[in-house]
Structure 1
Amino acid sequence: MIIWSLCLILILVFGSSHAKHLCHPDQREALWEFKSEFYVQKPDEMKSNTTTEMWRHNTDCCSWDGISCNPKTGKVVELALGDSYLNGPLRSNSSLFRLQHLRGLYLSYNNISSVLPDSIGKLKYLRVLSLGDCNFFGKIPSSIGNLSHLTSLDLSSNGFTGELPDSMGSLNRLTNLELVSNKLGGKFPHALLNLSEITMLDLRDNQFEGMLPSNMSTLSKLEDFEVSGNLFSGSIPKSLFMLPSLIHLNLNKNDFSGPLEIGNLSSPSKLGSLTLGENNFNGPISGSVSKLTELWFLDLSFWNTRRGLVSFNIFLNLKSLTFLDISYLNTRSIVDIGIFSGLMSLSHLDLSGINSKISSTLHLPSSMFTLILSSCNISEFPKFIQNQTSLRYLDISANQIEGQVPEWLWGLPGLRYVNISQNLFNGFEGSTNVIQRSANQMLDISSNTFQDLPLLPNSTMFFSGSDNQFSGEIPRAICKLVALDTLVLSNNNLNGSIPRCFKNFRTTLSVLHLRNNSLSGIFPDESIGDKLRSLDVGHNRLSGELPMSLINCTELEFLNVEDNIINDKFPSWLSLLPNLQILVLRSNEFYGPISSLGDSLSFPKLRIFDISDNRFTGVLPSDYFSGWTAISYVVDIEDRTPLRYAGRGSGYYHKSVGMTNKGSKMELVGSGFTIYKTIDVSRNRFEGNIPESISVLKELIVLNMSNNAFTGHIPTSLSNLTNLQSLDLSQNRLTGEIPPDLGKLTFLAWMNFSYNKLEGPIPHGTQFQSQNSSSFVENTALCGLPLKIRCGGEETTKQEQDEEKEEEEEQVFSWIAAAIGYVPGVVCGLTIAHILTSYKRDWFMNTVHYFT
């Protein structure tokens, strides 16, 4: 026993010692080289070491963070470096591909930013490949079909393009496939129908199009099928509903149409989540929905019933429903909200856009968490809400409710979000601090007739009070809201200065909109928070200089200070802001040049640049626009500030800015910011030539350089701006001809060259000939249509007269031919004779002879 005990101890000791040194030298070297292929760039605030920084070359690689080895062979079988701040491309000869025994590769949430090399197919033992959110681009390599052991593949949130390779149909062990948020396109990949083991297929937010295949039943184990945010069309195949294993079906935000046909279900459906909203379905909602008795989530929003009637009783059989969205059904039916009182599990109800009836005795399940009754034609505050003790999210916007907001609303213990915007409210019941005592975090009271700003709870994160009748100074009590993220007070009668105590928001505030008030004084530097993404103080009376502290706002995307009296040089330092997309300095007192010798002014993400109506001077360098990438190419730029806080029509704030397009002023709101790419430098004192680099701005829609002192010729290269719709070069000192190639700009609907020193013929082409003559007046020697001044003097005039005579003769002949075809027999001949007597007698005699 003693001997056996000693042997056992020796085995354990030596075995343990061996286990500590599993890693083969070739595996360690491959990992170490792989680490050296990337550089680690972690945030400044991150103090702890990242995964690869903990690796030590002289230690056992199987003990390194993120590494797992086979205990018997010492081969690396798992590399888990997700979110490790790796930066650099994954090359085709990367040492990664020497780790031939890998079963799990996790590289998600790194900045690899390259194509996915064909070499990925060498890792033939992979079971899990997770490469989500790595900035990969290009096509998915066909070699991925070599990974025959793969059970889970995640390529989500990258920039992959093109169609899926057919080789993916060979992954017959695959159970999870996630391709969310790429730029993949083409028809539904039929190769995926070969994946007989697939349980989750997620193609959301791509560019797939066409119809779904009719034989979806081949995916007999499919549980989760999501294709929302694509371009699929046609009807939904019945075979989808026949899948016995299907639990989640998400077809939201496509172009599906026709009625919904669920078909005859041979066995009870397991479908628990059905999302069909925001498509083009039309006609009545099929009563067969009531067969899906296991549904707990149902979204039929934006269904077009063609103003037909809806039987809301079809939902009463769905006793398990917790989420129901039937908003904007385009029906003339009036829904009695009480009909849903029998759905005892219901926690989310959205009836927006449907005329609703609310009885005084209405009781909904006390489990209600979200209630959205926007645009429901409600005229009284719904009293049944008083009993919704679990209610967290309330939206009753865009109705006709008037009077005061009831005091009891703020006593609901769970309420965090309230949207009562676009009603006729004029005050709040109870004491002045009635709201302040609540736990509310997000409040939208915009577009009412409130006169006094309410005291808000310190927990407030979002407050919109725009379009009311607030007056006086901005209450300093707002500065106590230390968690405030969004403050919108636009379109009121506020005066005084911007509070210096806004410095309390330096680390929280991302949206500050004070547009269209009567605020005055300087914009204090200390009131600018580093987290700002959207700042709009336009249409006030602010003076002084633009706050230099804006240079610290590296997330700033939208800056609008239009129509103030700011007196400052051009803030060229704004070009250091990497995310700036919209810059509006219009109608102030900015002065001086907007560039200096040796300066490289580059706005890579800028889409709207409006510095019009100031006192800018000087010459624009020929390469001034060379670094403006977003206007030069088709670039997808995420607009991170347009709509915050979930809920359709709720808690949204809208950026807004005026612009001059096609000679008229317009307001740019919402999606217009992503569509329009504009440059407006009009009404300044610029001189010299128009920069040649303007020709690289091929995505430009509006160009306005009017009311300056530009000289020289109009650049011929303007014809490169193939998307241009509006061009204004009026009231300058431009000379020479209008380049004929501008006639090739098929989208150019409006132009103005008036009040210059241009000469020569106006280019031919529909775009030019359709303009009003006022677009060309007051030039030195412009000629041709639409002006009445003819080109070329007498010789050309005689030629034009000959052409007019020929046109008259052709009209006469056309009239004769019509008469011949209209009047039969002798009457026709006599009519012809009468007409031709005054024209050509010889021709007439020959014609009469022919007809007789």
Structure 2
Amino acid sequence: MGSSMCLFIPILLPFFLLMSDFLNTCSSFSTQPLCSESESLALLQFKQSFKINVSDSHNPFAYPKVSSWNSGKNNDCCSWDGVLCDRGTGHVIGLDLSSSYLYGSINSSSSLFHLVHLQELNLAHNNFKDSQIPPSIRYLSNLTHLNLSYSSFSGQVPPEILELSKLVPHILANLSSLMYLRLESCGLYGEFPTEVFKLPKLQSLYVGYNQKLTGYLPEFNSSSPLRFLSLANSSFSGFIPTSLGHLSNLIYLSLGSNNFGGQIPFSLANLTQLIWLDLSFNAFNPQTLSWLGKQTKLTYLNLQYINSNGDIPSSLKNLTQLTVLFLGGNQLTGQIPSWLVNFTHLTRLCLYDNNFSGLVNFGLFLKLENLSFLYLSNVHLSFPINSTFNTNIPKLHLLALVACNLTEFPIFLRYQHELEYLHLWKNKIHGQIPKWIFNVGKETLELLDLSHNFLTGFESFNHTPLVLPWASLLYLILDSNKLHGSLPVPPPSILFYSVKQNTLTGEISPLFCYLSSIDYLDLSHNNLSGMLPQCLSNLSTLLSLNLQKNNFHGTLPTTYREGCSLKFMDVSYNQLEGQVTRSLSNCKMLEILLLGNNRFIDIFPSWLGKLQMLRALSLRSNSFHGAIGKPKSNLEFPKLQIIDVSHNKFTGIETEYEKIQDFLIVVDLSNNRFEGEISEGIGNLKGLHLLNLSNNILTGRIPFSLGNLSELEALDLSKNQLSGEIPQQLLQLTFLEVFNVSNNNLTGPIPQGQQFSTFENNSYLGNTRLCGSPLTKKCNIPETSTQPPLISKQGEDSKFPSKSDWVVIMMGYGSGLIIGFIIGHNLSIRELEQFAKKFGRRRYK
């Protein structure tokens, strides 16, 4: 017997649905028999097993249907809310308790399963506390419609329901009477059976939002009664069959965000009953939109990122019932047609990321009185003069005019008092931000993005500091402008605040201490100064703090507490001093800590080893000193991949570490005072891309085991005292693009062929006893380009170095090595960023 775990995707746990349009009301007639006493009692017992919790449904029309159930005067259950009885027998055949605020569990002994005549059962949008669907559901053998969606069921779907497995069962194809099947957001995976599409009575099929669910569309029969088909946000692939255009009853088609390819069939022009069409985010072949125009009942059309080209066809002007039109992310050309003004029902319009030409009069969009959502980019706009505005211009909630060559703030914004999202980034807006902008969405604005312009400050700003007035503002992005003066203070509501790459001066205002909800704060690449406010360590919601490349001095804040949420901190390139505050050990979620290029004086902060999430640590160019010691805890930096300790005064690594970390990506011990030999155990670092041991006092031979580092792209052993020959095994490093062994005591022939044919003289300078190409000195023995056999893997007990098992690393995560740890950050260690770009393979760019 199979079983299935139906995982819930966004908020609630799973659901399995097989249902048809369910009756919302029940009717009773004077001639209709009363319901049986046993069924009435079963319903009352079922009611008593639950609490009513109004927070357990997000349906605005929800109400507690069971509140009308009682055993008093109105004891005929056929008249109760949500109950449907058979007119002939009085048996309960339908139960609709959807959105009834039910809170509790259903077990196998529930009186629900005494209602053996039930044909339709709808328990959707309640909260059954992650309980499993009881096996006793098999007693409801007359069920034809079952809806348990959005009701916090979890665990296995019992095999008693058609013996379901974790894959969509092919037995569904035998349900010849099935009219309605809904399995959205159910964590399904595997291949969906094509037979289901051909069920003779199926009218509605919703299996979208199962990202691991694969499959393809079959050939359809013109006699199919299918009216609703949704596969959105899944992993279906293949071509859309021409026969899909034969489904003359289809009114809802949603295939967006899948992997469909090939041509969009012109037969879709035959789907004249369509109200909803979504083909967005698929990999179709380039083609025009000439198949559009006959679907005159369409109200929703989403064709974003489908590789459409050519002009917007004139036939599209027939779709005047549209309320939503999304054509962004294509290669559409020509002019934005003026007949869009006839789309008077339009509420949302996206035309971004296309190749439109010509000057577009923005007045066209201002005539769409119902428009609330407008997204344009790469369009050359002209704006009507102020006198043309009237009270009938649309009340926008979202406006995005991105890379539209704007040179000033559009005057019509003065009249947008309900705006929630305003994107004007990547334009050419010069000068000051006008003071009237503070009245734009003063109570409603949630996002303001003015980045990548030429803004210098706020008009008539005479107070220090400037406190921005938007009461609901959550996201404020002013990056890459020419802002100067003191740092503007966002409102307490702010979650995300970034003003990087400006010329702001002065100190961080104490008012920042009151940003109790902030998640992301980026003040980097400015000229801010002063000491860091202690209160920065008290912002318990702060996830990311970037203060790099300013002029801050003094110490780090010292009062990080239990519950600290920080994941990312970059205070590099300042003038901070003293010791690294040990209170950072309370930031258990910290992943990236960059302290480089300051004036810290401290020993190696081995106590950071207990931060189990720490992946990158930069201490470069400070005055850290002494040996790199082992953390007192036994965790020893369990996830560390990148650590920069270069340009300090470290003298060695203690010898107590038990096992080298084999997932390290980059290693740089350069510009320190390390000495001794390099162990063959270094060959265990199979994930290594960059290795820099230059400018130390290392002796001995270059290990043969370096030939095992098949991912290695850069190797720098220069400025040491290494001797012996360059191992022929290094010819196995087929990705090696940077190689430097200059200024050592190496002897013998340089390996020939493979990547070594690309390295120049300066890779070998200062080794007078080396010979062979590219040097002019000839060798006395025949040179060989024969690739040596692979070095066998080192045993599990191999060590690096010979008396130490822990490696400090640095370099080059600007090329993408840790991007994704903190979404949206382009992280790098500055001096090595260009180096990484120079040799990093394309997949890391």
Question: What TM-score do you get using the length of structure 2 for normalisation?
Answer: 0.68
Structure 1 match to 2:557: 524
Q: Does 1:584 align with 2:618?
A: yes
Q: Once superposed, what is the RMSD of the aligned Cα atoms?
A: 4.6
Match of 1:62 in 2: 110
Q: Answer whether contact 1:623 1:691 (CA < 8 A) is retained.
A: no
Q: Secondary structure at the match of 1:386?
A: helix
Counterpart residue identity of residue 536, structure 1: D
1:471 is aligned to 505
Deviations 1:59-117 (A, max 9, x none): 97427xxxx63534999999999999989xxxxxx9987975685677998998xxx9x
2:215 is the counterpart of 1:204: no
| Percent identical residues | 32
Task: Quote the residue 1:787 is aligned against.
Answer: 775
Asked whether 1:416 is paired with 2:446, we answer yes
| Cα 1:571/1:746, change in 2 over 3 Å | same
Match of 1:659 in 2: none
Instruction: Give me the whole-angstrom Cα distance separating, in 1, the residues matched to 2:604 and 2:136.
Output: 55
Q: Which amino acid aligns with 1:418?
A: L
For residues 77 and 286 of structure 1, the distance between their equivalents in structure 2, rounded to whole angstroms, comes to 47
Question: What per-residue deviation string (whole Å, max 9, x for no partner) do you get for residues 33-76 of structure 1?
Answer: xxxxxxxxxxxxxxxxxx9x9879xx97427xxxx635349999
The residue type paired with residue 587 of structure 2 is: C
Aligned to 1:553: 587
Counterpart in the other structure of 2:308? 281
- Asked if the contact 2:248/2:270 (under 8 Å) is kept, the reply is no
Q: Alpha-carbon deviations, 1:629-663, whole Å to 9, x = none?
A: xx6xxxxxxxxxxxxxxxxxxxxxxxxxxxxxxxx
Partner in structure 2 of residue 752 of structure 1: 740
Structure 1, unaligned stretches of length 5 or more?
1-7, 24-50, 88-93, 130-135, 632-676, 801-852
Q: Which of these residues, 590, 593, 596, is aligned with residue 562 of structure 1?
A: 596
Matches within 5 A, 1:657-806: 678-687=666-675, 700-710=688-698, 714=702, 716-734=704-722, 737-779=725-767, 782-791=770-779, 793=780, 796=782
Against the structure 1 CA distance between its residues 324 and 142, is the aligned structure 2 distance closer, same or farther, given a 3 Å change threshold? same
Give the counterpart of 2:471 among 424, 428, 439.
439
Match of 2:54 in 1: none
- Larger RCO, structure (CA 8 Å, separation 6 or more): 2
Tell me, yes or no, if structure 1 residue 330 matches structure 2 residue 352.
no
Secondary structure (helix, strand or coil) at the match of 1:590 reads strand
> Which residue matches 1:71?
115
- Residue 712 of structure 1 and its aligned partner are, at CA, apart by 5.6
In structure 2, C-alpha distance between the alignment counterparts of 1:572 and 1:156, rounded to whole Å: 45
Amino acid at match of 1:404: Q
Please give the secondary structure, in 2, of the residue aligned with 1:258: coil
Q: Secondary structure at the match of 1:774?
A: helix
The answer for the alignment partner of 1:238 in structure 2 is: 266
Contact 1:690 1:715 in 2 (8 A): yes
Among 153, 161, 179, the residue aligned to 1:123: 161
Q: CA deviation at 1:518?
A: 0.8
Q: Which of 68-77 and 560-569 deviates more?
A: 68-77
Q: 1:272 aligns with which of 296, 299, 319?
A: 299
2:628 to 582, 585, 593: 593
Look up the SS of the partner of 2:572 in the other structure: coil
Structure 2 segments unaligned to the other structure (5+ residues): 1-32, 49-100, 141-145, 786-845
Residues 360 and 382 in structure 2, CA contact (< 8 A), matched pair in contact too: yes
For 1:345, which of 365, 370, 374 is the aligned residue?
Answer: 370
Alignment of 1:297-312 (within 5 A): 297-305=324-332, 309-312=334-337
1:399 counterpart = 2:427: yes
Question: Is 1:375 the equivalent of 2:403?
Answer: yes
Comparing 405-414 with 580-589, greater Cα deviation is found at: 580-589
Q: Report deviation, 1:722.
A: 3.8
Q: Name the SS of the counterpart of 2:715 in structure 1.
A: strand
Deviation digits for residues 218-256 of structure 1 (CA, Å, limit 9, x no counterpart): 555555544444554443223345334544433334433
Q: Quick one: distance in 2 between partners of 1:571 and 1:222?
A: 65
Letter of the aligned partner of 2:659 in structure 1?
D
Closer/same/farther in 2, CA of residues 322 and 60 from structure 1, 3 Å limit: closer
Q: 1:328 to 1:20 in 2, by over 3 A?
A: closer
Map Cα deviations across residues 250-277 of structure 1 (whole Å, 9 max, x no partner): 33344334233343755x4333222233
Partners of 2:246 and 2:270 within 8 A in 1: no
* CA contact 2:168–2:188 (8 Å) conserved in 1: no
- State the Cα distance separating 1:553 from its structure 2 match: 3.2
Partners of 1:332 and 1:365 in 2: how far apart? Answer: 25
Counterparts of 2:667 and 2:197 in 1: how far apart (Å)? 49
User: 1:622–1:692: 8 Å Cα contact kept in structure 2?
Assistant: no
Q: How does 1:821-832 map to 2 (within 5 A)?
A: none
Q: Match for 2:553: what amino acid? A: S
Task: Please name the residue that 2:291 is paired with.
Answer: 263
In structure 2, do the counterparts of structure 1 residues 60 and 714 end up closer, same or farther at CA, with 3 Å as the change threshold? same
CA distance change for structure 1 residues 683 and 234 in 2, over 3 Å: closer, same or farther? farther
Shift of 1:546: 3.0
Q: 1:19 to 1:83 in 2, by over 3 A?
A: closer
TM-score, structure 1 normalization: 0.68
- Corresponding residue for 2:204? 175
Q: Is the 8 A contact 1:400 1:424 kept in 2?
A: yes
- Evaluate the alpha carbon distance shift between residue 13 and residue 771 of structure 1 in structure 2; reply closer, same or farther with a 3 A threshold: closer
Which residues of 2 match residues 808-819 of structure 1 at below 5 A? Answer: none
Instruction: Name 1:291's counterpart in structure 2.
Output: 318
* Contact 1:402-1:424 at 8 Å conserved across structures: yes
Residue in 2 aligned with 1:360?
385
CA distance in 2 between partners of 1:716 and 1:99 (Å)? 67
Query: 2 CA distance for matches of 1:581 and 1:477?
Result: 32
CA contact (8 A) 1:625 1:694 kept: no
Q: Is the alpha carbon distance of 1:18 and 1:473 closer, same or farther for their aligned partners in structure 2, counting shifts above 3 Å?
A: closer
Return closer, same or farther for 1:146/1:754 CA change in 2, 3 Å cut-off. Answer: farther
2:606–2:631 contact (8 Å) kept in structure 1: no
1:717-771 CA distance string (max 9 Å, x none): 5445444333333334555554444423333222223344545543333311111
**SS of alignment partner, residue 351 of structure 1:** strand
The aligned runs of 1:157-168 (5 Å cut-off) are 160=189, 164=192
2:413 and 2:198 map into 1 onto residues whose CA distance is 55
Structure 2 CA distance, aligned partners of 1:158 and 1:438? 40
| Equivalent residue, structure 1, for 2:661 | 625
How many equivalent pairs are there?
679
Greater helix proportion: 1
Which amino acid in the other structure matches residue 660 of structure 2? Answer: Y
Q: Deviations over 1:190-229 (max 9, x none)?
A: 48999964724234264x5554333323555555544444
Check conservation: 1:451, 1:468, Cα contact below 8 A.
no
> In the TM superposition, what is the alpha-carbon distance from 1:505 to its structure 2 partner?
1.8
Aligned partner of 2:323: which letter? W
Contact 2:609 2:635 in 1 (8 A): no
Secondary structure of 2:482 counterpart:
coil
- Find out whether 1:541 has 2:589 as its counterpart: no
Deviation at 1:155, TM superposition (A): 6.7
What SS is found at the alignment partner of 2:484?
A: coil
Q: What's the counterpart of residue 514 of structure 1?
A: 547
Q: 2:646 aligned with 1:612, yes or no?
A: yes
- Assess if the C-alpha contact under 8 Å between 1:556 and 1:580 holds in 2: yes
Tell me the alpha carbon deviations over residues 678-710 of structure 1, each in whole angstroms, 9 at most, x when there is no partner.
444433344556576765665544343433455
Change beyond 3 A, Cα 1:107–1:258:
closer
2-structure distance, mates of 1:232, 1:697: 40
With over 3 angstroms needed to count, the CA separation of the structure-2 counterparts of 1:177 and 1:80, relative to structure 1, is closer
Q: Aligned residue for 1:425?
A: 455
- Matched residue, 2:346: 321
- Tell me, yes or no, if the aligned pair for 1:618 and 1:685 is still in contact at 8 Å: no
Partners of 2:44 and 2:685 lie apart in 1 by 63
Encode CA deviations 1:543-564: one digit per residue, 9 max, x unaligned. 2333333333344343322222
